[in-house]
Chain A
């Protein structure tokens, strides 16, 4: 049973560029959440996708956008990269239903913006 996977593992970009990160959820899961984790900090919620729609968003600018595909995989896009976007980007998958959604994290994509 495959867990949450992400690609690429590492990425180096320059300011102003655009980046796309990818996530495949754990088998049987239908919801993907994205988090940004700056060095030495806890993960910060970016947004969540369910049924191919963004259903919850954190305090991130519109430069951060996403997509969910019919197979439940997801992409995170960041436009006009800033130095402050350098972080570990984590996706977490869960299954809608029940009282709460337990989330399982992928290994992350480490983005460095120069």
Chain B
């Protein structure tokens, strides 16, 4: 089955700097890659997603890139703010899995003022 690896496990950045989280997946049939942000004690919130027919997607300070050949995708956060501090999860799914998401282990991002 699909296996998603996520790095790094923790990431500390200064406010205003950029943060990058990388994920790799094993199943070349995967075609949907969402990113979720989970603050302490709260639900995972979808922040951005990308499908395999697109190489890059941006939404304000957040961007996701996808390299299908290498089977990896990355989350980029620019101009980080303290409220960006949270655990970020990447996930992957494929069309015949009826939306079953395989998650990475998560990245704890800490933005220091």
Partners in one complex: yes
Enumerate chain A interface residues (CB-CB to B < 8 A): 4, 31, 33, 35, 40-45, 48, 50, 55-56, 58, 90, 92, 94, 99-108
Contact between B46 and A43, CB atoms less than 8 A apart: no
Taking CB atoms, residues of chain B closer than 8 Å to A105 are 36, 43-45
Q: List the B residue with the shortest CB-CB distance to A31.
A: B99
Taking CB atoms, residues of chain B closer than 8 Å to A31 are 99
Taking CB atoms, residues of chain A closer than 8 Å to B73 are none
Q: Kindly supply a per-residue 1/0 record for chain B positions 69-113, scoring 1 wherever the CB is within 8 Å of any chain A CB and 0 otherwise.
A: 000000000000000000001010101011111111110000000
Q: List the A residue with the shortest CB-CB distance to B97.
A: A56
Taking CB atoms, residues of chain B closer than 8 Å to A56 are 97-100
Q: Which of B36, B51, B98, B100 is A99 in contact with, Cβ under 8 Å?
A: B51
Q: Which of A42, A43, A44, A104 has the most CB of B within 10 A?
A: A42
Contact between A101 and B102, CB atoms less than 8 A apart: no
Q: List the A residue with the shortest CB-CB distance to B98.
A: A56
Q: Which of A4, A92, A99 is B95 in contact with, Cβ under 8 Å?
A: A99
Name the interface size band of chain B.
Answer: 20 to 34
Contact between B43 and A106, CB atoms less than 8 A apart: yes
Q: Which of A40, A44, A90, A101 is B99 in contact with, Cβ under 8 Å?
A: A101
Taking CB atoms, residues of chain A closer than 8 Å to B51 are 99-100
Interface residues of B in 14-51 (CB under 8 A from A): 31-32, 34, 36, 42-46, 49, 51
* Known contacts A45-B101, A105-B45, then 7 further A-B pairs from the complex at CB < 8 Å, ordered by chain A residue: A33-B99, A42-B91, A43-B89, A48-B98, A56-B97, A92-B101, A106-B43
Taking CB atoms, residues of chain B closer than 8 Å to A106 are 43
Q: List the A residue with the shortest CB-CB distance to B9.
A: A40
Contact between B106 and A41, CB atoms less than 8 A apart: yes
Taking CB atoms, residues of chain B closer than 8 Å to A4 are 43
Taking CB atoms, residues of chain A closer than 8 Å to B31 are 99-100
